[in-house]
Structure 1
């Protein structure tokens, strides 16, 4: 039987531009309202409307990028360079490089936990986002590790909040990406976190069940009425000893006695543990968003949020092995893995 051409799957297109300095090229699809504009005007519009810009990202630099063949479109089965004057049609995929704005350098680095032919597992410090987004582009674990290893195929299999430390799994090549990302998407990995917060009457065995929502662009998420979508179990609560309290008070000043809460999230909502701890009356020590959103320029690398993804367990989807990865980061210290 003859195959219906309309149903024939085209092979997945590779980006027509390579990863550069650890960063993927940007793809933008021309919407109907921009049909008929020139390639230069379309890309310049995208650059000037991004929230964070580099002062050297000028019209002259964009023209140079066109001359270097660094503005391209996908045209099956081959890609083609664009000229600045070329008129674009709706639906065209345009690829180009954004110039990241200047970022404050994070004085911490990722530490290797495990590596094989498929995986690169690290202990992520606070203040590094998992992957480029918003104003955090170069100061991310993905970019840092791509530049460190020279492997531009490194990609996170899951995410940690920028301020959360601990176990983070990367895949080393495209063929491994799908199985591991699906593992995390299906919640087949068991995660254990530890957090420092004030002593309270929260007891081991407590289970928090709520509906949470977080609007993109807003710092805080919230608990709202409706079907439960966020579940966290408190595994244990251990009072901080005198030595740990002395270290914490050197960092945070005159704070009340603290405890270490071992937490197991059974779902994966954004800021889930932070919101659950806040709602229970014990916000995580060092959290700049709960209960009060601190000013954007307040950030101090010496006083991190004390939340660590301590342990990650799963059955490896490729080998069938039982994997257990652990963070060795000290909950009471901020200077672990500082870059000298």
Structure 2
């Protein structure tokens, strides 16, 4: 049976460990190590020349095992969904690219996406194979992403985020709490309204979710309500720390989960992406001093509107 797949443009690799006893063939190791992939799929990859050594020499189902060598292979998924939105390059220089990432598009290959990701699209668009992200943005979140093009200075851009030397501002839409909505209708709200949210976040179940837990705060967000239409609010969110799903959980903790959030407050059943209902969270502005040139960067994209 032929299995139709989409193949990653860039290979992944695995270092063959020195175990006792050693597998007889590379194929034997791959079947054991990647048990989530069926033997049929691995045999098809090996027979079609989709596994090789670093020098390009092909590995087949009979190739002897070589401990500590690297075996290269290509990630594949059964079906790859085309994300019907375009990325935009907002700034480019010799060391970095700042781009707008649309909703639903992963930054790097993940899940059911191997080539439908921001990095691969930008490599095709620019012809630069060394593009890599300096930070991450959830695939459900749209907005500005900083990527590097020069591997020799990549760590200097990455350190901006580690050392808190970069300012990120997000736009978000959420339904107001009944109390805020009533106060607005009575004419008793003066905008903007600000919240400082500090609490402790930890893993939930399933493990890709985050929840509030007891203990010393490890997360901090500054939140402002800047506009209202009917019972809908436009917020500016500024994460001081960078925990997984921090802004989504912090908005939920205020009683105002984000519009079209399929994770919070309740995890929705997994199914095909509904491109008509993007999560209303957008990385709208990025401010930092370029670590190489010393130039002050203040990059913005079009934000949300309540009109």
- TMscore range, shorter length: 0.7 to 0.9
- Report the TM-score when normalising by structure 1: 0.76
**1:239-278 pair list within 5 angstroms:** 239-240=228-229, 257-278=231-252
Q: Does 1:42 align with 2:20?
A: no
User: What residue ranges of structure 2 are gaps of 5+ in the alignment?
Assistant: 1-6, 181-191
Deviations 1:185-221 (A, max 9, x none): 2221101111000123677331111111235953421
Of residues 85, 89, 94, the one that matches 2:63 is 85
**1:26-105 pair list within 5 angstroms:** 26-30=13-17, 32=19, 35-46=22-33, 49-50=36-37, 57-65=41-49, 70-72=51-53, 84-89=62-67, 91-105=68-82
Q: 1:319 to 1:34 in 2, by over 3 A?
A: farther
Once the two structures are overlaid, the 10-residue window that deviates more, 93-102 or 157-166, is: 93-102
Once the two structures are overlaid, the 10-residue window that deviates more, 126-135 or 301-310, is: 126-135
Give the equivalent residue in structure 1 for 2:207: 218
Q: 1:184 to 1:24 in 2, by over 3 A?
A: farther
Q: Does 1:175 align with 2:149?
A: no
Q: How far apart are 1:96 and its partner, in Å? A: 2.2
Q: How far apart are 1:171 and its partner, in Å? A: 0.9
CA contact (8 A) 1:100 1:138 kept: no
User: What residue ranges of structure 1 are gaps of 5+ in the alignment?
Assistant: 1-19, 241-255, 334-340
Secondary structure at the residue paired with 2:302?
coil
Q: Does 1:301 align with 2:275?
A: yes
Give the equivalent residue in structure 2 for 1:231: 220
Secondary structure at the residue paired with 1:86?
coil
- Report the TM-score when normalising by structure 2: 0.83
Q: 1:44 to 1:36 in 2, by over 3 A?
A: closer
Q: 1:125 to 1:60 in 2, by over 3 A?
A: closer
* Separation (CA, whole Å) in 2 of partners of 1:279 and 1:287: 14
Q: 1:180 to 1:213 in 2, by over 3 A?
A: same
Give the equivalent residue in structure 2 for 1:248: none
Q: 1:31 to 1:138 in 2, by over 3 A?
A: farther
Q: 1:57 to 1:298 in 2, by over 3 A?
A: closer
* Separation (CA, whole Å) in 1 of partners of 2:233 and 2:21: 56
Q: How far apart are 1:24 and its partner, in Å? A: 4.0
Deviations 1:251-297 (A, max 9, x none): xxxxx720101111100001000000011100001111111111111
- Calculate the aligned-residue CA RMSD, in Å: 2.9
CA contact (8 A) 2:131 2:150 kept: yes
Q: How far apart are 1:112 and its partner, in Å? A: 1.4
Q: 1:137 to 1:80 in 2, by over 3 A?
A: closer
Q: Which has the higher strand share?
A: 2
Of residues 160, 164, 167, the one that matches 2:137 is 160
